[in-house]
Structures are given as C-alpha cells and as structure tokens.
Amino acid sequence: MNKPFVRHLGGPIPHRELHPLNPIYVTRPYLPPLEEFLPFLEKIWETRVLTNNGPFHQELESQLTGVFDSQYVSLTSNGMLALTAAIDAAKLTGEVITTPYSFVATTHALALQGLEPVFVDVRSHDLNIDPDAIEAAITPRTSAIMAVHVYGNPCAVEAIEEIAKRHDLIIIYDAAHAFGVRYKGRSLLSYGDFAALSFHATKAFNTFEGGAVVSNSEDRKLAVNSARNFGIADEVNIPSLGTNAKMSEINAAFGIVQLKHFEQVRRERRAIDTLYREMLGGVTGIDLIDIPEDVEPNYSYFPILVNEHFPMSRDMLYGVLKEQNIFSRRYFFPLLSSLPMYEHLPSAALGLLPIAERAARQVLSLPIYPDLSNEDQLRICDAILMHSR
Ligand code: T4K
C-alpha cells in the first residue's frame, strides 16, 4: 500500500500552455536585490577598471580569507580553471589518485594537464574517496591525491593528510561544493595543500561564473596567481606557462554583495534539507546521506539513493518526476571511469569500483535552493511517496 502523502495543491490549477504544473529545477541561483548591486556597477563605470586584480577583486579575496580561515585565497574565473591553476602550481607529474564519483571537471582538469587519473573507490556512507583505497593505489609515479568533498560533505581529511605526509604527496581538494562548510569548527577549505572552489550559478555561493583556490602557503598562492595570469611575473618577465583564469570586476563585485546574504541562504537551504529528511527519511528503498555532527554544511545538494527495495528504479523515478515537471538530476552519473576517454585505464575496469558504480546507478539529486516554496517541495515529496511501498 502507498504511504500516506500530503495533499497540498487544493484549489484550481492555473492554466499553463505547456504543462499544468510549474517546472521545478534541481536548482535556481540565488540573486540579491538588484539595487544592492547597482552602486558597484556605477563604480566600475566610473573607474573603468574591468579586470586584472582590480579593487573589487582585491576586496573579495580579502573578505574570503575570513570565510576560508586562510590568508591565501586566489580568485579565478570558474571552478574548472581553479582546479587547473592548483594543478599547475603544484607541478604534478605522472599519476594522481582520484575519485570516479564527481562532476567531469575533476578528472578532465587532470587529463588536460597530461596527468593520469587513477580511480579508487568511495566510502558508502558519504560517497567520498576511501582513504584505504588511496593507500593501496600509490605507486612510485603517484604525485598527488585529488579528492572531492562531494555535495560539500568533508572527505576523511585527517586520514588523507596522514597518507600524503607518509608518501610525500600533494593534496588537492576539489571543493567545488564546499563553500562555507565548516568541519570541527574550522573552514573545510583550509585543509589540504590546495582547495579549488566553484562559484558557478548552480552553487551555494555564486558570482554567475567564478571560483577560487585556497592554498596553504604564500609561495603556493603566488604560484596559483601566476598560473591564472599567463605565467607572467612582471612586464618583462614570463618565467612559466600559464592560462587566463582571472575573475573580472563584475563577478568580484557581485561576490561582495552575495557574501552578505550567504548565512541567510544557508538557513533557507537548511529548512528545505530538514523537511526532505522528515518526509523521506525512513522510506523503504530510499537512503539519505547523514550529516556528521562535527560538520556545518551548506546544504547545496540533496541526493537520495534509490535502492533495490524501492518499487521502481532510479531512472524510472527520474522519469516519473520529469513527467510532473520536476527536474531532478543524476549527480553523479555516468561514473567518470566509464567515460570514453578514461574507460581504457586499468583503474577504470568495470567491477573495481563497486560502491561508486552502485551510487551512480542509484543517485538522484532533488531540487534544493533558497526560494523553493514549501508547496513545491511537498509536491516533490508527494511524487516520490506516491510510488513508495
Ligand atoms: N568540480 C566539481 C565537483 C563540480 O561539481 C564542478 C561543477 C566543477 C568542478 C567545475 O566548476 P565550474 O567550472 O562549473 O565553476 C552543473 C554546473 O554547470 C557545474 O558548475 C556543476 N559542477 C555541475 C554539478 O552542475 P549542469 O550541466 O548540470 O548544469 P545545468 O546548466 O543543467 O543547470 C542545472 C539547473 O540549474 C538547470 O536545470 C536550471 C538551473 N540553472 C542553471 C544555470 C546555469 C539556472 O536556473 N540558472 C542558470 O544560470 O552542470
């Protein structure tokens, strides 16, 4: 028998041409009141400083040092180039141990720099890279560990640090999902040699497009700054290769405004996370990822795992939701190790990464964003509960 579900759509449904119910996307970017941003635009028009380490860029970098508990913050134009600049600054060679369970940017950033990703499995309780599997994959060619704080949940940072120390490896965290996350009272971004963030429109903190690298020393920050600015040292000295990964003044100014709203955004996301947990926790066939007690999350994603005890497959549920104009996403499917450019790697062989393979088959990320209405959230839960046992 179906579980009881909440009926919330009383009254006439407004006429729409394409679909009777409004579309609900996996996320919608938070935008601050436009009038807060306009004075920043006026200032840019006045000074004509558009990019190249301008005043808003410097201001946002400085404000973020407080948020990230690190003095060494370098803004970038997006998360992919934050990863690239970190890899470049770390001067990696050979093999890098990484997770197959992430967005494609993680592995592409390595491969595009001529590095060989070595995939290892994840832990079942948080889908982050398994430290025991890292240790087993180290070879004389390994130069680094590229771990991902998936959905903003902290990796096993202490264990990873201990392994890296023992084997003299660099740690780069892909922290694209981890803006504002705190672990044991400290910013999660302050762990590792480098942490690369994304400020993309779909993230908990957005600057339209944008990103940052947090490093753990002045030298590393300078190396990142050089990597994001063509490898230029000064007007006549260009000692290294580099790309253009600079953040513009418009994006930086927008970030300054957004930062004022971040705690409010976090609170609104938390309320949505709480309601999902109340309504979907305990449903047969659906597993949730628990938030550990020593973590202050940013609630940027709400993944559910649809296991074999649910009456329909994950893909069927995805389709059912879509028919009701609810656009969940399969973050992260397909598994990166199954992509055509990686499937030939020895570490990518089918069956070697069982936990990640299973998660990629089961995961569905549900809509979560500050102005997701209560009514819409109940509509999503109803649509799922209607099909549960
Ligand atoms: N590492 C990790 C672990 C990452 O997850 C990402 C990015 C990166 C690195 C690289 O960071 P960036 O270089 O992107 O800064 C999205 C994002 O484009 C991507 O940033 C993100 N991860 C990834 C997980 O998700 P798509 O292709 O799923 O996005 P899209 O365009 O389908 O957007 C999803 C929904 O969001 C739409 O259905 C509607 C809504 N949306 C989206 C955009 C862009 C809006 O309402 N407004 C918008 O402007 O990849």
| Statement: residue 137 has pLDDT above 90 | yes
Q: Which atom of ligand 1 is nearest to the CA of 211?
A: 15
Which of 103, 177, 363 to probe ligand 1 with, by most ligand atoms within 8 A of CB?
Answer: 103
Rounded-to-5 percentages of helix, strand, coil across the chain: 40, 15, 45
Closest by CA position to 275, among listed 364, 381, 387: 381
pLDDT score for 92: 98
Give the residue from 154, 164, 248 showing the smallest Cα distance to 208.
248
Distance, CA 205 to ligand 1 centroid (Å)? 12
Mean pLDDT of the chain: 95
> Closest Cα to residue 213, out of 233, 202, 198?
198
Q: Is the shortest distance between the CB of 27 and ligand 1 below 6 Å?
A: yes
Contact 149, 203 (CB under 8 A): no
CB atoms within 10 A of CB 250: 18
The CB of 106 under 6 Å from ligand 1? The reply is yes
Question: For residue 165, what are the contacts with CB-CB under 8 A and spacing of at least 6?
Answer: none
* Helix, coil or strand: residue 288: strand
Residue ID of nearest Cα to ligand 1 atom 20: 200
Give the Cα separation of 197 and 214 in Å (integer). Answer: 8
Confidence of residue 11 (pLDDT cuts 50, 70, 90): very low
**Cα of 200 from ligand 1 centre, angstroms:** 7
pLDDT band at 4 (very low <50, low <70, confident <90, very high): very low
pTM of the predicted model as reported, rounded to 2 decimal places: 0.95
Helices 249-280 and 55-68: crossing angle in degrees, nearest 10, is 30
Task: Please tell me if the CB atom of residue 29 comes closer than 6 angstroms to any atom of ligand 1.
Answer: yes
Say how many Å lie between the CA of residue 27 and the centre of ligand 1.
9
Cβ(90) to ligand 1 under 6 A?
A: no
154 C-alpha to center of ligand 1: Å?
20
Q: Is 327 in the pocket of ligand 1 (CB under 6 A)?
A: yes
Decide: residue 30, CB within 10 A, 0-12 exposed, 13-18 middle, 19+ buried. Answer: buried
Q: What is the C-alpha to C-alpha distance for residues 223 and 112, in angstroms, rounded to an integer?
A: 19
pLDDT at 228 over 90: yes
Please tell me if the CB atom of residue 20 comes closer than 6 angstroms to any atom of ligand 1: no
Closest ligand 1 atom to the C-alpha of 327? 38
Domains in the chain: ranges and CATH: 8-29+262-386 (3.90.1150.10), 34-259 (3.40.640.10)
Phi/psi for 73 (5° steps) reads -115, 130
> Is 73 in contact with 65 (CB distance < 8 Å)?
yes
3-state secondary structure of 138: coil
The amino acid occupying position 114 is G
Whole-number Å distance between alpha carbons of 219 and 252: 23
Average pLDDT over residues 141-168: 98
Which amino acid appears at position 211 of this protein?
Answer: G
Question: Which pLDDT tens digit goes with each residue over 260-298?
Answer: 999 999 999 999 999 999 999 999 999 999 999 999 999
323-366 residue pLDDT tens:
999 999 999 999 999 999 999 999 999 999 999 999 999 999 99
Mean pLDDT within 69-87: 97
What whole-number percentage of the chain has pLDDT above 70?
A: 95
**Which range (5-19, 245-259, 300-314) has the least confidence?**
5-19
In contact, 120 and 97? CB cutoff 8 Å? yes
| Whether residue 330 has its Cβ less than 6 Å from ligand 1 | no
pLDDT-derived band at 6 (thresholds 50, 70, 90) equals: very low
**Angle of helix 374-385 versus helix 249-280 axis, rounded to 10:** 50
